[in-house]
Structure 1
């Protein structure tokens, strides 16, 4: 198997990557973006709220967050449900059970107003995770 992979890499280098040219600045910017892959609690909360403008299950949320590059819940989906439960207790979202046993979450009017307020602020002034849950 190892030999096949080496041959594949050689073929890819010769056929595909030979046409690609990356400058050092381009390589550097890619490395920096990879390092920035971690997201703050506030960014994660905003992403969750943005996705909950329309009704979704927790499973759908995890998938959509992963597609946004937020991998915090990939190995620990339970942490997402804790956040959803807190948002529900704060009156920011509502949930309902469907006949098939799936629980759906969606921002209510208060949650939509809060999301709009947060999105209008500059990133440096975003409400903290603590402010949303306590305020």
Structure 2
């Protein structure tokens, strides 16, 4: 049993990117579905699908690569807030990832969203991860 499902998801994506896999399998949680939707919306992954195997549900993420050399679109993915050390950010002090070339995924009172969307809405929350 994995205690930190977000870190597990990010590690699976990072490992699949390093060996240039097309698809990565992730156990389904509400947060993993929300993060996958953000990754698709921001153009870091192609798509994701839900599927069931032996009464367990999984997400299949289709990773995105550039060119013939298959350079990954996700160059870095980092977990920020951990179970042992939570990191929060107020609405007036939201993180900027690579001068807004990357995104910060945040858990807010209005749901999981990017730092740019949280800034638009004027709300803060827990900074889950940085992706660029």
Q: Which has the higher helix share?
A: 1
Q: Would you tell me which structure has more strand in proportion to its own residues? A: 2
TM-score between both structures, scaled by the size of structure 1: 0.28
- Structure 2 length-normalised TM: 0.28
